[in-house]
Structure 1
Amino acid sequence: MPDISDARYTSNGIEQQGFVQQSDIFMDSCVVEIPDSYTLMDQLHNITPFDRLHRVFGDGYSFKYIRCSTSVTNGNVSVYKVSAPNVAIADPALTDIFLRMHQEHVFLQNYDITMDCLNISSRAIVKEFLLDNGISSKDILDDENKVGANCISWFTEEDEIRIRNKLYNKFVQLLESGEVRNQLTSKLSELVMPTSQQFGETLVACRNEGLMRLELTVHSPELKEVEWNTNLIVNTLEFLHNCRTFATSYEKQWMALVDQIHNKHTLCIYFHKEHSLGYCHWFNKTTKKKQGIAKKLKKNEDMMTVVSNLTFNGHPTVLLTYATSSGPLESEVVLRRDITNITIVPSQRNSFWPVASRERQQHTFAEMGLINYRGIHIDWLTAQQAREKVRLSTLSIVSDNTDGLGIDDLLADISNIELDDLEPTYLRENTDLKPARYKVAYNILHVGDEFLVSYYFLYTFRGLPFYYLDISMIHNEIVSSTHILIKVLASSPFGECIASVIGQPNQEVVLKVTRIHNRIIHTERI
């Protein structure tokens, strides 16, 4: 199968020393906490924690609930990640934001400062350099199984503040893609239609030497001065100035990837009753990240046309057809294109019909290094082709036997992928929902309670979204036959837990109450 974990992206580069600053220093994200007492006050006023965060940070920032925890200074808190729109660390607006944080009782745990650099290296090379230059092995994060061979993190201290230093090949990250909640995704569109103009300019500036990103996480309860942050990251870059690096163009890195997957089988899984498919072009066996698309087709979209358009020239595609996402397997065939043509990859909107537009695209895939090499020719459709939903090539069946192709591991991973736009199989229609029958969860549940959730409804009550749940209590591993109806605010930690399981293959889920504080319930899946 098309495993790229052993791709050597530095192999055809020109050896250098150190990395060269290419971008400004900017804040990438931060992690904040909100005491549960203020979350409860917000609920009483029909305000969500995200409203509070928006008051602090304003437009352009995104927020994600992470977990609940106990803070030394603030007691029980809810923790959120705030993603910033690449704000320069010297921007005066940051000072205003962090002043508002205290006024709104939002407290900082840590923040990331980032710099993009020319030249690339590998985890093995950087690790050797770190060990030779005073960094202890215990301070180097042992996470290769999560981040792969082109990323490394190590810990240092500055003024008694703990710093996590992270160095990774940003171009390779875009090639490998993958997200925490959905590992079968594509980030290739970012190369030609970057979401940030600033990042787009950096991508272009680094295409002949390669792009390495240096990211420092500062574990401080307050934003340090601009000079302190600047000196911190500049000194880290200076520390690395004797590290072996390589000026390696995007084109050469792309060719290194293609060399790994040349003539390997790609994999497509189709669920015909749901009219949905998952297609994997390549994957990293170490990190489990996969380049491809998982999505429900529209009624007027032909499955074989989509498969044809996603298939590489000269590369066989294994097509497995299931009745539903829970099985059974109905057929398996190996397909191959009959004629040579481009291969599409998803757009930013994860579309099967991405359109090339010079008005919106800054560059073509070839200009950004993804040249036509060994039959792999990445591009997007013309507007007319997309409108007509054209099939780029007919497909012929090469074999109906997939034994010995080594697809089992990849198949197991893709089978568990949540399909985008696929209606959750157990988020029931709420047209006949009777909200008055549902009790508030904190009046029913207690710490330690275990219960089975069978039905889920999402319903807006007084302007706020709630999950309405049909649960059965569990005592001594025996599920009660009595059904209890409860409701929980969608933005609460309990609601976030429910949101994380909706859309997964199993209809029922067992949860346990781990903590209740100020009427806020925290649960975990068991």
Structure 2
Amino acid sequence: MSVNQIFTDQSIYLNDLFGIDFAAYGERQNGWADFCSIFCDSLIFWCATHLFLTRRTSEIGMFLGMVRNVFLRYLTRTQFDIKYVRSGRCNDYDVLPIDMHEERAASLDMMNYIPGYIAMKVSFKNIGLSTLLPKLAQIVHELRGYQIVLHDFDITVDCAYISTRTIVQKFLLSNGINSSQIKNDRTKSGDNCIAWNSRVMLDTTIPIRIKVYNKFVQMLESCDLQTKLGSQLKNFVVNSDTRFLERLQQYCSTGMSRIEITIYSTRLYSYEHYSQIMDQATLFLRVVSDNKGLLHYSYLQIYNLDLIKFQVVERLTQMTSIYIRNKKTFAYCHWWNSLTKRMHGHSRTSIEEKDLLTLLANFGFNDRPIHCFIVDWISDKTYTIVEHRQYERVPGSVAITLVPGIQGSFFPYRSFLKCINLSFEAVGLASYKNITIEWPQQQLCKDRDPMLAEIIPYEPTNDRAFDMNQLQDAINNVEASNDQLVHLESIVMAKYKADYQILKTDQVYTVVEYAHATYRNKLYLCLTMAGDIFVRCSKGLENVATPEIERGYKFKVKVMRIKTVRGYSDVECRII
């Protein structure tokens, strides 16, 4: 049981940013513009090892050290970060060939070697692609000697103007991209990001993935794809990647999108090749003419700073926190996105209960209740809420609200910062309705008053009574959320049976949950239907269900007939 799950269980107390259309009120534009020079955002290496070692911290640490040491011969510590991503059985021998596993098996001198892999992600800062490539070629060559191979490589540009998943998806489907190519990851990446698969021809045909997303919103709503609770707001105002801060100011009046192309290849190519791939992608996203001479646009909208104030701040009606007494863990959440389940906030251990009021005062909002759930941790799957405390800053408070500082500090301040740093207001997080996100100039010390504001027990009064219109909106939101399709990140595959085995002809089924999982080395769409019916989809059902899944709502499907084509059973069905 994580603090993320506790927050999710108490989601009625979380401020939800789901549904905000950040492109709603801007002027219509004709394609993206003002592209920066190409840079490499990150890349992934796969390390060959025995399957039973892939989860051992000693093995992961050894490979992390190898990769870091090789990179340090060509780059400085401030130019890159390395972290473990995932590990498991190796089924892709195009990336890690058999002979490489044989080398690793010989070096381990282990019986019954089973091919496995450990994936490492290297992220870059302040370094352009043209500068990085010559050094990276040497690095990739050296790492192969340690049975470490390049898996994929990102080339990236930032540019002016923004869009939404719905708008870009409509554009893609109108211009030759099939729905099967578009990544069905809305519950993972949200409504301001879209990705699709394609291929490019270099010395051979290479698979690529193109992703377009609103960089500002991505940083506002989430920390990263691997983290549910976290904060990137510090990167808006102080960032060792000075080029990013310059671009952030450059695109402040238009909004900032990022176009990211992942190239799945174990070898590197020239800068000219990568530039050609990026040019093809950006040209495709410009105006395209159809057979009737009509123009299709990517309908990008100018980013409006006022939208942050009017739509985001209007939803900040409270602040919620958790304190786990027997683990001395404090966590808070300023807002979340109920679609992606990503939360803006932070958690730390070794927090004494006597320091709770200080943290609640500093991370709370003016004129809004502050909730604190006191929790006892029982096991990894269970917990008990001992008490629900409610506070508020004293009436009339105009104090700032903190967000985590560098390295997640709960007591950030500006006076020690030597690098370029901006105000939160300068990047769009302006003061509105008595909410001001900022860091103090001087450090808050315990020998002085570490509290930014005084807090008192919260007592609702008549003037805080519910507006019935707001109550009806809340009811409508709950009803709408009940109709939302649920994405399961992990499932027990043994529960799911082939659709042609358990579904009956002429029956109507309601799909309430979905997941993607591997069965006998093949990826399947898996559906949960009302009545606890667990279905592993054949192609017929998958093709019909996928467009409905992308809409994000529960749907009904009717089975027309069970058929056999070339020895394979399939289900013919339709949406009703």
Fold agreement, TM-score > 0.5: yes
- Which residue number in structure 1 is paired with residue 84 of structure 2? 64
1:266 aligns with 2:325: no
1:334 aligns with 2:379: no
1:27 aligns with 2:40: yes
**Equivalences for residues 38-117 of structure 1 within 5 A:** 48-58=62-72, 59=77, 60-68=80-88, 69-73=90-94, 74-75=97-98, 76-86=115-125, 87-91=127-131, 92-117=134-159
Q: Distance in 1 between matches of 2:258 and 2:61?
A: 37
- Match for 1:320: what amino acid? F
Structure 1 residue 350: Cα displacement: 1.3
> Contact 1:2–1:260 at 8 Å: present in 2 too?
no
Q: Distance in 1 between matches of 2:268 and 2:427?
A: 36
Structure 1 residue 386: Cα displacement: 4.1
- Which residue number in structure 2 is paired with residue 428 of structure 1? none
- Which residue number in structure 2 is paired with residue 198 of structure 1? 243
Q: Cα 1:296–1:55, aligned 2, differ >3 Å: closer, same or farther? A: closer
**Equivalences for residues 162-177 of structure 1 within 5 A:** 162-177=207-222
> Contact 2:38–2:128 at 8 Å: present in 1 too?
yes
Indicate the larger mover: 79-88 or 194-203: 79-88
Hey, which of these two has a bigger chunk of helix by percent?
2
- Which residue number in structure 2 is paired with residue 419 of structure 1? none
- Which residue number in structure 1 is paired with residue 301 of structure 2? 246
1:6 aligns with 2:12: no
- Which residue number in structure 1 is paired with residue 192 of structure 2? 150
Indicate the larger mover: 354-363 or 302-311: 354-363
Q: Distance in 2 between matches of 1:296 and 1:36?
A: 34
Q: Distance in 2 between matches of 1:393 and 1:100?
A: 55
Q: Distance in 2 between matches of 1:95 and 1:121?
A: 35
Q: Cα 1:88–1:104, aligned 2, differ >3 Å: closer, same or farther? A: farther
Q: Distance in 1 between matches of 2:310 and 2:129?
A: 35
Indicate the larger mover: 62-71 or 382-391: 382-391
> Contact 1:372–1:378 at 8 Å: present in 2 too?
yes
- Which residue number in structure 1 is paired with residue 489 of structure 2? none
Structure 1 residue 256: Cα displacement: 4.8
- Match for 2:262: what amino acid? T
**Equivalences for residues 112-123 of structure 1 within 5 A:** 112-123=154-165
Indicate the larger mover: 182-191 or 349-358: 349-358
**Structure 1, residues 422-444: CA drift from partner, whole Å, max 9, x if none?**
xxxxxxxxxxxxxxxxxxxxxxx
**Equivalences for residues 90-489 of structure 1 within 5 A:** 90-91=130-131, 92-159=134-201, 160-242=205-287, 243-249=298-304, 251-262=305-316, 264-296=317-349, 298-299=351-352, 302-324=355-377, 327-338=383-394, 339-357=397-415, 359-386=418-445, 388-399=448-459
Q: Cα 1:148–1:46, aligned 2, differ >3 Å: closer, same or farther? A: closer
**Structure 1, residues 215-238: CA drift from partner, whole Å, max 9, x if none?**
101111211221111111122111
- Match for 2:180: what amino acid? K
Structure 1 residue 296: Cα displacement: 2.6
> Contact 2:157–2:260 at 8 Å: present in 1 too?
yes
Structure 1 residue 37: Cα displacement: 7.3
Q: Cα 1:132–1:303, aligned 2, differ >3 Å: closer, same or farther? A: same
Indicate the larger mover: 217-226 or 354-363: 354-363
Structure 1 residue 106: Cα displacement: 2.3
How many residues end up aligned between the 2 structures? 404
> Contact 2:330–2:351 at 8 Å: present in 1 too?
no
Q: Distance in 1 between matches of 2:386 and 2:59?
A: 53
- Which residue number in structure 2 is paired with residue 491 of structure 1? none
> Contact 1:297–1:303 at 8 Å: present in 2 too?
no
Q: Cα 1:143–1:300, aligned 2, differ >3 Å: closer, same or farther? A: closer
Indicate the larger mover: 312-321 or 355-364: 355-364
Indicate the larger mover: 73-82 or 370-379: 73-82
**Structure 1, residues 359-397: CA drift from partner, whole Å, max 9, x if none?**
445211111111101221101123253453522222232
Structure 1 residue 14: Cα displacement: 2.4
Structure 1 residue 28: Cα displacement: 1.8
Structure 1 residue 287: Cα displacement: 0.3
**Structure 1, residues 252-285: CA drift from partner, whole Å, max 9, x if none?**
34225424514x2321112234433211110000
- Match for 1:81: what amino acid? M
**Structure 1, residues 26-58: CA drift from partner, whole Å, max 9, x if none?**
122222223337999xx9999922233234433
Quote the sequence identity (%).
26
Aligned-residue CA RMSD (Å)? 3.2
> Contact 2:23–2:164 at 8 Å: present in 1 too?
yes
- Which residue number in structure 2 is paired with residue 452 of structure 1? none
Q: Cα 1:283–1:105, aligned 2, differ >3 Å: closer, same or farther? A: same
Indicate the larger mover: 104-113 or 59-68: 59-68
- Match for 1:109: what amino acid? H
Structure 1 residue 67: Cα displacement: 1.1
Secondary structure of 2:267's counterpart equals: coil
Structure 1 residue 2: Cα displacement: 0.9
Q: Distance in 2 between matches of 1:274 and 1:104?
A: 40
Structure 1 residue 115: Cα displacement: 0.8
Q: Cα 1:208–1:161, aligned 2, differ >3 Å: closer, same or farther? A: same
- Which residue number in structure 2 is paired with residue 445 of structure 1? none
Q: Cα 1:203–1:365, aligned 2, differ >3 Å: closer, same or farther? A: same
Structure 1 residue 299: Cα displacement: 4.5
Secondary structure of 1:223's counterpart equals: coil
Q: Distance in 1 between matches of 2:327 and 2:211?
A: 41
TM value normalised by structure 2: 0.64
- Match for 1:307: what amino acid? L
Q: Distance in 2 between matches of 1:234 and 1:198?
A: 21
Unmatched tracts of structure 1, length 5 or more = 410-526
- Match for 1:53: what amino acid? V
Q: Distance in 1 between matches of 2:323 and 2:86?
A: 33
Q: Cα 1:394–1:52, aligned 2, differ >3 Å: closer, same or farther? A: closer
Q: Cα 1:269–1:34, aligned 2, differ >3 Å: closer, same or farther? A: closer
- Match for 1:395: what amino acid? I
> Contact 1:31–1:79 at 8 Å: present in 2 too?
no
Structure 1 residue 248: Cα displacement: 0.9
- Match for 1:341: what amino acid? A
- Which residue number in structure 1 is paired with residue 535 of structure 2? none
- Match for 1:344: what amino acid? L
Structure 1 residue 203: Cα displacement: 1.4
> Contact 1:333–1:399 at 8 Å: present in 2 too?
no
> Contact 1:115–1:214 at 8 Å: present in 2 too?
yes
- Match for 2:91: what amino acid? T
